[in-house]
């Protein structure tokens, strides 16, 4: 039983490291992005990473109340995606 707990701890730590690396790379891409679409996609990736991080933190700590902020971030991100898609559709170009 102790080896299963140690294995899950290592896997959780690895997932946290990967999320941090993904966030740093996405932030670097966001700062170097040239077009509006690239910037919005980078922000979408950061919000997805935030939701994944909150879910992972919920598993590590064991506090189910942390799911609520993750759901709020996901809903705001979805609404932002819809608003951006509407903006691009009305604008007519992909700049």
CA separation for the pair 55, 82 (Å, rounded): 24
CA separation for the pair 31, 28 (Å, rounded): 5
- CA R_g for the chain: 17
- What was the pLDDT predicted at 9? 86
pTM score, whole prediction: 0.82
- What was the pLDDT predicted at 45? 95
Q: Provide the 10 A C-beta neighbour count for residue 85.
A: 11
Mean pLDDT across the chain = 89
- What was the pLDDT predicted at 8? 86
CA separation for the pair 37, 1 (Å, rounded): 48
- List, for residues 20-46, the tens digit of each pLDDT value: 999 999 999 999 999 988 999 999 999
Domains (range + CATH), the chain? 2-91 (1.10.287)
Mean pLDDT across 56-79: 91
Q: Could you give the angle at the alpha carbon of 85 between the alpha carbons of 83 and 90, nearest 5°? A: 95
Confidence grade of residue 77 (pLDDT, cut at 50, 70, 90): very high
């Amino acid at each position: 039983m102790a080896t299963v707990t140690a294995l899950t701890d290592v896997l959780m730590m690895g997932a946290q490291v990967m999320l941090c690396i993904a966030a740093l790379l996405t932030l670097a891409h966001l700062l170097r992005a040239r077009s509006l679409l690239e910037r919005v996609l980078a922000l979408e990736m950061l919000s997805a990473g935030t939701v994944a991080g909150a879910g992972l933190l919920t598993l590590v700590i064991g506090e189910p109340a942390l799911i609520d902020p993750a759901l709020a971030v996901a809903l705001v991100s979805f609404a932002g995606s819809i608003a951006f898609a509407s903006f691009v559709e009305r604008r007519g170009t992909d700049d």
